[in-house]
Amino acid sequence: METLRVALLQSDIIPDNPAANLAALEQLLDAQFGACANELSPDLIVLPEVFTTGFHPRARQHAETADGPVSRWLMRQAERYQAAITGSVVYTPSASDAKAHGARHTNRLLWASPNQPLKHYDKRHLFRMAGEHERYQAGLERTIINVSGWRVLVQVCYDLRFPVFSRNRDDYDIALYVANWPAGRHDHWRTLLKARAIENQAYVIGVNRVGQDAYDQSYAGGSVVFSPEGAVLIDAADIPGVVTTPLSAQALNAYRERFPAHLDADGFTLVID
C-alpha cells in the first residue's frame, strides 16, 4: 500500500439534466488533469451524491440502468485517467435485483476502475425527512472496495449519521462519503466526518455539492479530507472545482501503532434487515 492521491470534485448540479452535468464534470477533469492520464492524475476521483440529477422531482425519470450512459461515462473516465472514479446516481434495479431486493429505485454509488467490472453500493440509510425511504429501496450490504491496496468503505450522505454501520473492524483504511448535504446542517457535516475519522482511526473523505437544487435547498460544499487523527488535509470550502491531496499509508500505519485504541474496541454484531 503506497501513497494514494485523491481528487474531490465539488460541483453544482444542474437540475434534471444528466448530459449537461456529465459534460461539466468532464470539463472540470480535463481542466485539472488534461485529457488523459499523466503524472498529475489522481488514483481516486470522487464525485458528489446523485451527481447527474441532484434531488429533483423527475430524477427517477433519468435513472441509470445496468450498462447505462452514466456507467459507460464512468468507465471512460477511469480508463482515460487510469484512476478509480465514484459517485452516486438514481438507479433502476435490474430484473434480478428487483426480484431479490424489491422493485423500487436505489440511490446507488457506482465505482469504476480501469479494466475492472463496475462495482456498487446501495445507500443503506434513506433520508426519511425528505421521504427518500418512500421512493427508494434501502441497501442491504456494507461495502468495502480495494484501490491500489487501500481498503475503502463507501457510504452515501445520511449514512454518516449512523456510526455503528461505519465502525471500523480493522477492515478499512478510508471511509468515503458522497453527499448532497444542505447548508443549514453544515456544522453537522463537518463534526460527523471528523468524528468518523477519529473514532475509526482512518482517513475520511467527504464530497458534497454546491449551489441550489430544484427544491430551493442550498448547499455549501465543504468537501474535505480528514486524517486519522482528525486533522484537515484539504478543504474545498464553498468553491466549485477540484481539490487534490495525497494520503500517506506510512502515516496511517504509524499512527495506529503509536495509538492502538482499536485493540480495546468492543465486539458487536451488525444486523442489517
The secondary structure of 127-186 as a DSSP string is: -GGGTHHHHBPPP----EEEETTEEEEEEEGGGGG-TTTT--SS--SEEEEE---BGGGH
Residue 49: active-site member: yes
Contact indicator for 22, 64 with CB cutoff of 8 Å? no
Cβ neighbours of residue 191 under 8 Å, at least 6 residues apart? none
Residue 99: active-site member: no
Contact indicator for 190, 224 with CB cutoff of 8 Å? yes
Instruction: Give me the catalytic one of 26, 64, 123, 134.
Output: 123
Q: For helices 18-33 and 69-81, what crossing angle results, to 10°?
A: 0
Instruction: Give me the catalytic one of 49, 64, 119, 257.
Output: 49
Instruction: Give me the catalytic one of 157, 194, 229, 257.
Output: 157
Residue 123: active-site member: yes
Report, as residue numbers or ranges, the catalytic residues: 49, 123, 157
